[in-house]
Amino acid sequence: MKASPGSRIHNLTGHVARMLIVLVLGGFLGATLVRLAPGFGVDTEELDTRLSERSVVALRQSHAMEESLPRFYFDYLSKLLHGDLGVSESLHRPVRELLAERFPETLKSVGLGLALAWLAGLSLAMTSVMSRLWIADLLASLLASILLCVPAAVLALLFVIAEAPGRLAIGLIVFPKVFYYARNLLAQSAGLPHVVTARAKGVSGLRVFFWHVVPVAGPQLLALAGVSVSLAFAAAIPVEVLCDIPGIGQLAWQAALGRDLGLLVNLTMIVTLITLAANSGAELVAQPLRPGEA
Amino acid sequence: MRRIRIAAILILAVIAATCLLANFVAPDSYAHQFRDIPDAAPSLHHLLGTDDLGRDRFSRLLYGTRVSLLLAPAAALLSSLLAAILGGAAGFAGGWLERCLMATTDLFLAMPWLFLLITVRALLPLDVSPLISVAITFALLGCLGWAAAARVVCADARTLCGSDFVLLARASGGSGFRLLWRHVVPNLTPVLFAQFWISIPIFILTEANLGILGLGVAEPLPSWGGLLRELESFSSLSAQPWRFVPLVLLIVTVSCFHIAVRKQEAWA
């Protein structure tokens, strides 16, 4: 039975509502963390001996309005609704401007990394499952295992040492997860009775793969695609920091070192939103492909 | 495969034992500076040479490995406990409690792990002693790493609650707590063990990442992250390949964990 347009709209609305709820809750959690953090309202500029007493008082007053948590959050939300993400305390620039400047860089890194990870991961998983050569499986698994055991930051450093494009490191960080999950899924699908029967009847390997294995594993592979977006964004932090790519990963690190919590919370929420959108998108695409729901 | 697993467990045991006995095995303290021989090459007294501050690299490696190998399981224990409490309660109680707890879990899962971690790390005081910084780092890992495990535990607890033996126990008059304690919790143990073992290498790697980014354990206390920061001075790496030893040891340890827990992964 094909899903009706009504049920699709219902699904879409459900996903959008879920995203909004998670965003509001996440924003509230972030604002609470910022507000309750030790040292909140204390500015290192206060320690500047050149500042007069009046300047110190003015600095303190600028933080005083943030003291009540509901007010702090209400201000944050109302500004957000007007497209104002505030000003970075450490970089003294509007967050919106920083994002506009750095986001395209991260998108480029994440896009390239994901493309590499999926190309390598899926092709090696396919080779490993369909060739049924133990040596192919062993070599691919060995490569994935080694990459899985190397911290993302070290991998980025190795790229710097090798003078290779740092963006590719994101691909190698995400690759092992894609490979393992895809290989297990494909192997599971390839072992199903109807696939074994198709093989026994002499159907060619490629046909078996595209007609019988992929349709079964497809929905879960799409779910993995959603998750891999989150993995790639997480990998962007060490890669951009160590390879000196001016993206939002590097911005998050600078904000962490400068204890710029407002900027950090904004960045976390934006990446959360992207992750949720990717997961919901993958879920919506995968839903009609699931047996029984198509 | 069984032999490989046994070998991995043996290697882990040797590494763990050597590091636990670091006080006796290490030739020097991790903080002692040999100021006249900074950046020295390996010798009989300094097996891996000395770092930029003249500290014995081999001693720092042993102590650093001990920090990571002791505290990553502690963080994994904390996250497994949180997962057991929240996931178990959600799965056992069902209804609105399950919905609320799972919505919280979804919120944690949707937030990118490393972004969340550095945000929370940045909230904490900077002027803390190295010991407190190490405790904070691993406590954060434990407190933020429970969500995925809680989902698994919740699903398992829900399945258990609908199983025949629990229904029978309920029909025989078993109370809520007794059911939970006598029938559900013991059957959740394998899943919790699996989650515990799976979390350890993840936490080791995350600490290493945080350490390299300068957001992990504070100096002079060594940890794998701190030790790997030495790789940043890559101009001298080709001339000093022994600087890669911490990385090799980390890869070996994490690989051994992965091999050893492969059976556990089936449970998770």
The Cα A120–Cα B104 span in angstroms is 34
Total Cβ atoms within 10 A of residue B101: 20
Does A268 sit within 8 Å of B119, measured CB to CB? yes
- Per DSSP, helices labelled H in chain A are 5-36, 53-64, 69-81, 95-131, 134-149, 152-161, 167-190, 193-200, 205-208, 214-242, 248-257, 261-286
pLDDT at B249: 92
For B172-193, the pLDDT digits (tens) are 887 777 888 888 888 888 889 9
Does B213 sit within 8 Å of A238, measured CB to CB? yes
Q: What number is the average pLDDT over the span B58-87?
A: 91
Q: ipTM more than 0.90?
A: no
Mean pLDDT of chain A: 82
For A56-103, the pLDDT digits (tens) are 777 666 666 556 667 777 777 777 777 777 888 788 888 889 999 999
**Token output for A18:** 């879920």
Q: Give the best residue of B4, B114, B132, B257 to mutate against chain A (max A CB count within 10 A).
A: B114
Question: Which residues of chain B make contact with A188, given a CB cutoff of 8 A?
Answer: none
Q: Looking at the predicted structure, is the pLDDT value of residue B54 above 50?
A: yes
Least confident segment among A92-96, A108-112, B73-77, B114-118: B114-118
pLDDT at A290: 66
Percent of chain A with pLDDT over 70: 86
Scanning A192-221 for CB atoms below 8 A from B yields: none
Which residue from A minimizes the CA distance to B123?
A37
For B9-18, the pLDDT digits (tens) are 999 999 999 9
Q: Looking at the predicted structure, is the pLDDT value of residue B68 above 50?
A: yes
pLDDT at B62: 92
Asked if B237 reaches chain A (Cβ–Cβ under 8 Å), the answer is yes
Percent of chain B with pLDDT over 90: 19
Q: How confident is the model at residue A117 (pLDDT cuts 50, 70, 90)?
A: very high
Question: Which residues of chain B make contact with A150, given a CB cutoff of 8 A?
Answer: 247, 250-251
pLDDT at B77: 93
Q: How confident is the model at residue B236 (pLDDT cuts 50, 70, 90)?
A: low
For B81-118, the pLDDT digits (tens) are 999 999 988 888 888 888 888 888 877 887 777 887 78
Please tell me the distance in Å from B243's CA to the nearest CA on chain A: 13
pLDDT at A119: 95
Question: Which of the pair, B110 or B35, is modelled with greater confidence?
Answer: B35
The Cα B221–Cα B133 span in angstroms is 9
For A152-198, the pLDDT digits (tens) are 999 998 888 888 888 899 999 999 999 999 998 888 888 888 888 88
pLDDT at A35: 67
Which residue from B minimizes the CA distance to A25?
B107
Q: Looking at the predicted structure, is the pLDDT value of residue B2 above 60?
A: yes
Percent of chain B with pLDDT over 70: 94
Question: pTM of this prediction?
Answer: 0.83
pLDDT at A294: 45
Q: Looking at the predicted structure, is the pLDDT value of residue B78 above 90?
A: yes
Q: What number is the average pLDDT over the span A124-137?
A: 85
CA-to-CA separations, A229 to A114, A272, B4, in angstroms, rounded: 7, 10, 34
Question: Which residues of chain A make contact with B216, given a CB cutoff of 8 A?
Answer: none
For A197-255, the pLDDT digits (tens) are 888 888 887 888 888 888 888 888 888 888 888 889 889 989 999 998 999 999 988 88
The Cα B185–Cα B166 span in angstroms is 12
pLDDT at A65: 58
For B119-142, the pLDDT digits (tens) are 777 777 666 788 888 888 888 888
Q: How confident is the model at residue A46 (pLDDT cuts 50, 70, 90)?
A: low
Does B111 sit within 8 Å of A256, measured CB to CB? no
CB-nearest to B119 from A257, A264, A279 is A264
The Cα A227–Cα A108 span in angstroms is 18
Question: Which residues of chain A make contact with B112, given a CB cutoff of 8 A?
Answer: 230, 233-234, 268, 271-272, 275
Q: Looking at the predicted structure, is the pLDDT value of residue B220 above 80?
A: yes
Question: Which of the pair, A180 or B231, is modelled with greater confidence?
Answer: A180
